[in-house]
Each structure stands twice: as C-alpha cells, then as structure tokens.
C-alpha cells in the first residue's frame, strides 16, 4: 500500500491519498513509514514540476493534501492522558515560507505528547522570543530551506539567548548542515523529523 500512497499523492488524487493514509493509520502502521511514503510522493511531484508537467498551483495543492495527511497521522498517534511533556515553539524563520518539513516535526511532537506552539512561516525573531517567554518553552525549533534563512536563524538564536541563556535551540531544513549550525550558534541540528523529536526527548524528558 506504500506505493499506492506515493502514486496517489504524485497524481494529485486527494481523496484517494487521504483514504489510503487513513487505512494505514487504522491498521496501526508505523507513522514514520507512512510519512516516508508521503514524502516520496512529494518528491515525485517536485520532479514533475521540474519537467514542467506540473505548475505552481499543483505544488500548492500537493502541499495542502500533504498537510491533511499529516493531520490524520497526528490525530491517531496523539498520546492520550497525562500531562504534556513540555512546550516547544517552532516556526519557519523570517524570509522563508517553506513549511512541509516543519509541519512533519509539529505532528510528530504532538504525537509524542508535547505542547507545540506553531508560529507558521516568515516569523520574525521578536515573535519567537515573545512566544517562548509567554509559553515558558524549553525548546525552540527554527526551520528553513533557503540560504536566506541562515542569517535569520542566527539573529533569532541570539535574540532568544539574550532573554533566556538556558533555552535550547534546534535548526532544521533541507539545506542545513553542521557548518550552518556553527554559523547560527544553535544547540543542535535536527537532520530529520525523528531526530528533532529525539532532541526534545533528550532535552525535555531526559530520555
């Protein structure tokens, strides 16, 4: 069924994609495997866009279908009962509007029973600072895909540290690497969504 999800999403078949995702969720499949299959479908869409088979409107539609699929997965695997493990503020930094990777992290963190404050995209440093302070967040996640995000992440990290030296900051995104991490001055790089969750487990839950 994994190939079915990939193909349905790649073909922009919204109803079929969501139906297949729901079936696998109900069957108790590993959420990370379902997400991986959806990401493969999104990768195919990117290739079809590069060959001019798809247009910007198709990319927007695909992104919306992907978000709906992530919401289905997040609802199913949300931990029930007990207090939240801690608060994480997350957003795509100023100058960048990519959010697919961020949304995956948000869903997995919510599934892990974290209280997640999603600030959206193109978020100014002062908004991260205000939200972290208001929600007493232990961790802030900075997402970005474009190179323009590097300096925005650095500025945001410095602003966060100036108000709370103990706060943990993680970065993530397709173009992020150890050199960018060093430039930004954050605590860690979440190479993928699962790595981001594991960082929060380590910093907040002590796992």
Residue pLDDT, tens place only, 113-159: 889 999 999 999 999 999 999 999 999 999 998 898 999 999 999 99
- For the record, the structure tokens of 174 come out as 């397709």
Tell me whether residue 3 is exposed, middle or buried, using C-beta atoms within 10 angstroms of its C-beta: 0 to 12, 13 to 18, 19 or more: exposed
pLDDT for the residue numbered 77: 61
pTM score of the predicted model = 0.74
pLDDT for the residue numbered 78: 59
pLDDT for the residue numbered 82: 56
Q: Is 45 helix (H, G, I), strand (E, B) or coil?
A: helix
CATH of 2-76, one of 3.30.590.10, 3.40.710.10, 1.10.1240.10, 2.40.37.10: 1.10.1240.10
Query: Within the chain, which residues score under 50 in pLDDT?
Result: 81
As annotated, the residues of the chain forming the CATH 3.40.50.280 domain(s) are 87-205
The DSSP 8-state label assigned to residue 80 in this structure reads P
- Alpha-helix runs per DSSP H in 11-124: 14-26, 31-50, 56-76, 100-111
As annotated, the residues of the chain forming the CATH 1.10.1240.10 domain(s) are 2-76
Give, in words, the CATH class of 87-205.
Answer: alpha beta
């Amino acid at each position: 069924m994994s190939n079915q999800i990939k193909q349905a999403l790649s073909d922009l078949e919204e109803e079929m994609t969501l139906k297949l995702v729901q079936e696998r969720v109900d069957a108790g499949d590993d959420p990370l495997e379902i997400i991986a299959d959806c990401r493969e479908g999104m990768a195919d869409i990117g290739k079809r866009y590069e060959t001019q088979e798809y247009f910007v409107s198709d990319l927007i539609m695909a992104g919306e279908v992907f978000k709906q699929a992530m919401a289905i997965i997040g609802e199913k695997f949300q931990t029930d009962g007990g207090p939240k493990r801690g608060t994480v503020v997350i957003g795509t930094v100023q100058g960048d509007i990519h959010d697919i990777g961020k949304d995956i992290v948000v869903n997995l963190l919510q599934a892990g029973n974290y209280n997640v404050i999603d600030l959206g995209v193109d978020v100014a440093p002062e908004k991260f600072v205000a939200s972290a302070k208001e929600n007493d967040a232990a961790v802030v996640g900075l997402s970005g895909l474009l190179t323009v995000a590097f300096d925005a992440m650095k500025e945001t990290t410095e602003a966060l540290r100036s108000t709370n030296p103990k706060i943990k900051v993680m970065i993530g995104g397709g173009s992020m690497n150890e050199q960018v991490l060093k430039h930004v001055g954050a605590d860690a790089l979440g190479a993928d969504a699962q790595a981001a969750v594991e960082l929060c487990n380590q910093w907040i839950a002590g796992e």
